Structure 1
Amino acid sequence: MTQLKSHYAAVVVGGGQAGLSASHYLSRAGIDHVVIEKNTVMNKWRDERWDAFCLVTPNWQCQLPDHPYDGDDPNGFMVKEEILAYLNRFAAKVNAPVLEHTTVTALEKRGDVFRIETTAGTFTAHAVILATSLYGEPEIPRAGERLPEDIVQVHTAAYRNAGQLPEGAVMVVGSGQSGAQIAEDLHLAGRKVHLATGNAPRCARFYRGRDVVDWLWDVGQYDITVADDGMGKKKHDTNHYLTGRDGGRDIDLRAFARQGMALYGRVRGVSGGKMLFEPNLKANLDAADRVYNGINALIDRHIAERGIAAPPPSVYTPEWEPAHETTELDLEAAGITSVVWATGFRPNWAFVGLPIFDGTGYPVHRRGVTDVPGLYVLGLPWLWTWGSGRFLSVGRDAEHVVGALAGALAAGRREGAGRFAEAEEVS
C-alpha cells in the first residue's frame, strides 16, 4: 500500500484510465507523484456498467500508453469482462503509486505550492493533475422526486440487466449512448419499453463495406481539435448512439417503434402520476437522422475524391413516423413499474478552490493546461480531439500534459525557487 508523504512533485486526482496514463508518463519522466482515488482503480468500468455493456468503438482504438489492444479481434468490440481484463493488464504495467479509498476534500494554492486535503491526511505538491472526468455523480432530474413511490428508479450507473427490475413496463429517460443501448437491452429481453428521447445524434455502424469509425479515421475526423474553426463547443456535445453488441449494428429508434417500443419527446416533468413530455419527438428523430446521413455523406465525398472502390452510397429514409406527439402519459395505466434514468452525470469539482471554471462549471484550459500554474486537467471529452477521454487518445493527452508539467518543474528548479527547494528537501 502506498504511504502518504508530506510533499510530492505532482499529485494526480483520479485513478481511471486518464489518471493511470498520467502516472505512466510521470514515472517515465522520473517525477515523484501519487495518484489519489476515492474508490478503487478503474472502479467505474467494473461497478457502473451493465452486464451486456461493450465498446462502441472497435478494439483497435484501444491505445493506452504502451498498451495497445492485445487481443485477436481488432475490428470487434470487447465486452465488459474483456474490457476489465484489458484495463487490469494496463494497471499492472503502470504499477502506479495509488492511494485508494481516499477522497480529496480541498485543493488550494499557497504561493507556488498546492495544499491538498484528503481523508488520509494533508500534503503539498508543486503540480496537480485533475483526472476525475465529467462522469462524477449520477444526474437524476428533480422530476424523479415526484414519481409515485412504488415506481423503482435506477440510474444507468446502477442498471445491470432486465432481471433486476420488477415485472412490468420500463420507462427509459434519455436516448444518448447509454439510454439507447439499455433500451435495446430491455427490448431484447422482451420488456415493454417506453423511451423518452433527447437531442443525441446517431451514427451508422457500417457503411459502404466498412465500420464507420474506420472511415472517419481515414477522413481525419479524429485529428480535428477543439482549436479548429467551429469546434469550440464540441466539449458539450452528446455522443452518437450506436452499438458494438453482437458484432456491431445501428441503433434505429424508428425500427424499435415499429417493433412496439413507445417513443416520446424530452421529459419536461412529472405531475399527478403522469410523465409529461415536450412535443419534439419528430424533431429529435429527424435531427438524429440528419447527423446519420451527414456522416455518411462525408464518407461519400472521401470515397469519391480518392477514387476508392466501395459498395454504392445510400441515404437513410425513415420508414416510421410518429402519428402524433404524446405529451403526457399515465404511468400506472401504461403498466410502468420502473424508470431508468439515462440522464448522464455531473462532475464533482467542489473540492477545487481555484478559479479555473467557466460559467457552465467546465474547466478552462488549453489542451489540459489551465491558467493556474501547475494545475492541469485530463480525461475530459474533447480535451483536445474527438478521441480525448477515450482509450484512443487519452494517452496522447497525458503525454502532452505531463510534458508541460515536467517543463514547468524544470523551469522552477532552474530558477532556484526557494520554496521549491525547501519542499523537495522535506519530501
Structure 2
Amino acid sequence: MTTQEVEVLVVGAGQAGVAMSEHLGNRGINHVVLERHRIAERWRSMRWDSLVANGPAWHDRFPGLGFSNLQPGEFASKEQVADYFVDYARKIGAPIRCGVDVTSVRRNAGAPGFRVETSVGSYNARYVVAATGPFQRPVIPAVVPETAALLQMHSSSYRNPGQLPEGGVLVVGAGSSGVQIAAEIQRSGRQVFLSVGPHDRPPRSYRGRDFCWWLGVLGMWDASTPPQGAEHVTIAVSGADGGHTVDFRELAAEGITLVGRTEAYDGGTMRFAGDLRKNIANGDAHYLQLLNQADAYVERNGLDLPEEPEARVLRPDPESLKTPILELDLETAGVASIIWATGFVQDYSWLQVDAFDPNGRPKQQRGVSTEPGIYFLGLPWQSRRGSSFIWGVWHDAKYVADQIAIQQGYLAHNEQDALVGA
C-alpha cells in the first residue's frame, strides 16, 4: 500500500477539526482531516437523548454560519449541533475522511515530518494537529467495586431514565451534565441523590442578557488562566427547557436529595464528605459576584437594562443542606444505579512523540507543542477560558494555522536559498 503525502494532517473531525480545516483552507495549505467515526460523533453517541447546548444559538457557533431553524436565543439539541458541523464542513469544503482510525504518529528518522499509520494506510505529514479535544476517555473513580449489586455507568453512556433498572439513582457530579441528568431522572418518578462538589454557578440570564453575553462584555471569556485553586472547578449551567439558572435549593425542593462529594464505599454504604454546605455557599458567592459585576457594568456604561432584584433572593435551605447526609446505605435507600458525571481524561496514546509531561498532559503554549511540527487544538484553557467552547476553538484554530503558515514561510525561505546556491 502506498504512502500518501500531505502537508498537514488533522486528527479528529469534531468542532476543533472542522475549525482547523477552515483556517488551513483559507491559507491554501494542503491538508486532510481524519475522523474515526462521523463528523462530530461525540455529540451524537456520547450524550444523553435530551441534551441541548449550554449556550444560545447566537453564541455557540462559528462566525461563518448560523443555526438553521433556531431563533438566536434558543438552545440547539445535540443532533442539531452535530448536523451544524456537518453543514459547516460541507460549506467550507473540508477534506474530511471518516471511518479512518489513526493508530500512531511518529517522527520520521532522518527526514522531515511524521509518519502517520492509520486503519487505511500510511501518511507522511509535515505537520500534525491533534484536534481530538478534551473528552476522550470517560473517568469513573475507583470507589465502588464492579462486583457491587449496582448498575454503574458514566454520564457518556446514559441516554434516558428508561435504560435504568427500577429504584433510586445516585448521580455523582454536579456540573452541567450531572445536574441535568439528575433533574431528568427525578422527573421520571425516581428518588435521586445528587453528589455536589465544588462548582461555579452563573445565572442563566440577568437583566435581560444571557450569561454568555455577560462573560463576554466583562472580559471573562478571555481570561488566560483560571483563578488559583479553581483549575478544575466545573460550571453548573443549563440550556434545558429553554435555559434556566441551576439552583441546587430548587432541585432539592423538587425532591432531589443533595449530598457532599462522594468519598468512599464500604459494604454497601456510601460515604460523603462534609463539604456540601461549603460547596453550595461558594457556588452562591460566585453567582452573586457575577450579579455585582454585571450591575457595576450597567452603571458604568449607562445601559438601560431592567433591574432584577429578585435574582438575589435565595430559596430557604432544604433539610439535606441543614443536616447533610454523611453515610448512605444504598440498599436501604433503594438506590439501584450510580451515574458518574465525573468527566473525561485525554488519551494521546496514538501520538508517540516527545510532547507530553510525566502525567501525560500536552506540553504546549496556545496549541504549539514543544515537539516541533506537532500542534494541539480544543484543550481547556488552551489560550483562554473559552478555548474548549465552540466559538473559542474557532479562534484558537486561527492562531494554530497562523503558526503553521509561519513555519512554512521559513521552510520556503530555506528552499529558495538552496535554489539560489545551485
Q: CA deviation at 1:72?
A: 4.5
Q: Could you say which residue in structure 2 is the equivalent of 1:22?
A: 20
SS in 1 for 2:409: helix
Q: Could you say which residue in structure 2 is the equivalent of 1:246?
A: 241
Q: Could you say which residue in structure 2 is the equivalent of 1:425?
A: none
Which sits farther off after the overlay, 64-73 or 325-334?
64-73
Of 281, 291, 301, the residue aligned with 2:296 is 301
* 1: CA distance, partners of 2:123 / 2:85: 29
* 1: CA distance, partners of 2:345 / 2:285: 28
Spell out the pairing of 1:134-213 with structure 2 (5 A cutoff).
134-146=134-146, 148-149=148-149, 151-213=150-212
Q: CA deviation at 1:246?
A: 1.9
Taking a change above 3 Å as real, the CA distance of residues 282 and 327 of structure 1, as seen in their structure-2 partners, is same
Q: CA deviation at 1:71?
A: 4.2
Taking a change above 3 Å as real, the CA distance of residues 364 and 68 of structure 1, as seen in their structure-2 partners, is farther
Amino acid at match of 1:39: H
Which sits farther off after the overlay, 258-267 or 103-112?
103-112
Q: CA deviation at 1:154?
A: 1.9
Count of aligned pairs between the two proteins: 412
* 2: CA distance, partners of 1:32 / 1:307: 49
Question: Residue 57 of structure 2 contacts residue 73 of structure 2 at CA under 8 Å; is this kept in 1?
Answer: yes
Q: CA deviation at 1:105?
A: 2.4
Question: Residue 293 of structure 1 contacts residue 316 of structure 1 at CA under 8 Å; is this kept in 2?
Answer: no
Of 54, 57, 64, the residue aligned with 1:56 is 54
Amino acid at match of 1:320: D
Of 42, 45, 48, the residue aligned with 1:44 is 42
Of 258, 262, 266, the residue aligned with 1:267 is 262
TM-score in terms of structure 1 length: 0.90
Identity %: 34
Of 85, 91, 110, the residue aligned with 1:87 is 85
SS in 2 for 1:76: coil
Q: Could you say which residue in structure 1 is the equivalent of 2:405?
A: 406
Amino acid at match of 1:158: S
SS in 1 for 2:387: coil
Q: CA deviation at 1:67?
A: 2.1
- Pair 1:286-2:281 in alignment: yes
Task: Write out per-residue CA displacement over residues 285-332 of structure 1, whole angstroms, 9 at most, x where no aligned residue.
Answer: 111111111111111111121222333354343511523232221111
Q: Could you say which residue in structure 2 is the equivalent of 1:319?
A: 316
Q: Could you say which residue in structure 2 is the equivalent of 1:331?
A: 330
Amino acid at match of 1:94: I
Question: Residue 63 of structure 1 contacts residue 393 of structure 1 at CA under 8 Å; is this kept in 2?
Answer: no
Which sits farther off after the overlay, 306-315 or 296-305?
306-315
Amino acid at match of 1:304: E
**Structure 1 segments unaligned to the other structure (5+ residues):** 420-427
Amino acid at match of 2:296: R
Runs of 4+ in 1 over 6 A off after TM superposition: none
